[in-house]
Amino acid sequence: MYVEPLLDNTGIVTPSISAMERIRTRTARVGVVGLGYVGLPLAVALGDAGFDVVGADLDQSKLDALKEGRSPLDCIADSSIGGLIDAGRFEVTTDAAHLNSPDIILICVPTPLNQGEPDQRFVMEAAESLIPQIRPGMIVVLESTVIPDTTERMLVPVLEASGYKAEVDFFVGFSPERVDPSSGLDVVDVPKLVSGIGPQSAALVEELYRNIVRTVVPASSPRVAEFTKLLENTFRDVNIALVNELAQVARDMGVDIWEAIDLAATKPYGYTPFYPGPGVGGHCIPVDPVYLAWRAEVAGKPLSMLQDARRVNDSMPGFVADRVAELLDGDLAGKKILVIGAAFKKDIEDARNSASVDVMDRFVERGAEVLYHDPYCPSVKTATRTLVSVPDLIPELERADCVVICTDHSSYDWEEVLGSSRLIFDTRNVLASFVNDEAKVHRL
């Protein structure tokens, strides 16, 4: 068994001193498993902080780009990758075995839904691939969003198949990623929740992130941190559902929902504005509440409000299709509809679970001819086909029976969109200043 002195020079019990030293002196080698929206920015932040980083990903095309110093993500500049590679602080591999037992391993693999259920297969597969890598003094941190208790009940037993004991020989923690790719906030600027399965792991994980991000917030256990991550995104999903449901009735009451939200937002306490839209997309907000609901269901306490919120948000693409059909004399068959924006939110290239794509599906189901334009997403997979973004926006705006704004990328010239279109349905309220043209511009 691995034994390290547990007293530092102040005589206070500390976790593995050499592991701590390797973090403080930034001589620890860090392996990042999964180089996506979470793992890659984290790998760059670690490299920028002076750590040597080795990244593993199963996606060969991603690795090929990285090896050539090209970033596969818009939110990370090529120069950030190239700079780290040139400095010898960043290498990549497809095989976790080639991580060569680094001092620290961060797991950043996807946790999607599979047929509406949480799917933690990627986490478990990544953990299994790490068993031969585990060695005394190593720190393993799970960053993926997971069902509460996953770190302690599922990850630790898998890693202990290495023959080493967690919190004794090696250390394990959970630190959820809260990055928001289009917010402009860098990973180092977002306060980081940190936790460990015991006091040694907790202290090491906290110290690690203190060396990378500006603010570290300790949680008392991985379970609390896992729950908190789900709470944050469920809060968002439920509040968006509230305004989406209100948006579905406000118009019938002669109320402009956008105006009502702006008015409510003038209240200096007790109110946070959320805005309606064509639905809720991405890898987190429509997914994480399902993880929480699943766990509650197992505990015999179904979360009905949360399930209702999911139902309301999932109904929005159909509601958008209904409103557009109303504008086109009740029938979408044969109508040419141009959807602006396919990404799930503005200024990113991510179309995972995008509500915009669901909206396109609803139009197709009703017999419309659907085209889309998105400067960030050259192609998207709908339920029935792969669509390619139209190359020239203006002629398509002119030809469309209705233009439906689903994603409000900042790069669009909205005045130009307005000037070239015959009829617009705006789900994002980007044309707020043009609503006096009521015959042409209709809002959610």
Ligand X SMILES: NC(=O)c1ccc[n+]([C@@H]2O[C@H](COP(=O)([O-])OP(=O)(O)OC[C@H]3O[C@@H](n4cnc5c(N)ncnc54)[C@H](O)[C@@H]3O)[C@@H](O)[C@H]2O)c1
> Which residues, including other chains, have CB under 8 Å from residue 81's CB and lie 6 or more apart?
44, 66, 69, 70, 71, 90
Label residues 207-237 b or e (16+ Cβ within 10 Å = b).
Answer: bbbebbbeebebbebbbbbbbbbbebbbebb
Beta bridge partners, 106, equal 32, 141
CA count, 13 A, side-chain hemisphere, 187: 23
- Sign, CA dihedral 143-147-152-153, equals negative
Please, what is the minimum distance in Å from the beta carbon of residue 282 to ligand X?
7
Instruction: Closer to ligand X by CB, 287 or 364: give it.
Output: 287
Least Cβ distance, residue 119 to ligand X (angstroms)? 10
CA-closest candidate to residue 292, choices 369, 213, 228, 357: 228
Confirm whether 284 is a catalytic residue: yes
For ligand X, which is the closer residue by CB, 236 or 373? 236
To ligand X, the closest distance from the beta carbon of 352 in angstroms equals 8
Nearer to ligand X, 380 or 441 (CB): 380
Fill in the amino acid letter for 310.
R
Give whichever of 156 and 332 is closer to ligand X, judged by the CB atom.
156
Q: How far is the CB of 91 from ligand X (least distance, A)?
A: 14
Residues 6+ apart with CB under 8 A from 101: 133, 134, 135, 138
Compare residues 289 and 317 and give the one whose CB is closer to ligand X.
289
* Nearest-approach distance from CB 127 to ligand X, in angstroms: 9
Which residues contact ligand X by CB under 6 A? 33-39, 56-59, 62, 96, 108-111, 122, 125-126, 129, 144-145, 177-179, 181, 283-284
- Of 63 and 202, nearer to ligand X (C-beta) is 63
SS3 content of the chain, % helix, strand, coil (to 5): 40, 15, 45
Question: What's the min distance (Å) between Cβ of 439 and ligand X?
Answer: 39
In the structure encoding, which two tokens stand for residue 103, read together? 């001092």
Q: Which residue in 174, 183, 186 sits closest to 42, CA to CA?
A: 186
Pairing of strands 171-174, 192-196: antiparallel
Strand partners, 442: 425
- The radius of gyration of the chain's CA atoms, rounded to the nearest angstrom, is 24
Q: Using CA atoms, how far apart are residues 310 and 356, in angstroms rounded to an integer? A: 16
Region of 415 on the Ramachandran plot (φ > 0 left; ψ -120 to 50 alpha; else beta): alpha
Question: Between residues 92 and 312, which has the closer beta carbon with respect to ligand X?
Answer: 92
The catalytic position among 75, 108, 284, 406 is 284
Q: How far is the CB of 54 from ligand X (least distance, A)?
A: 12
Q: Which residue is nearest to ligand X (CB)?
A: 36
Active site residues: 284
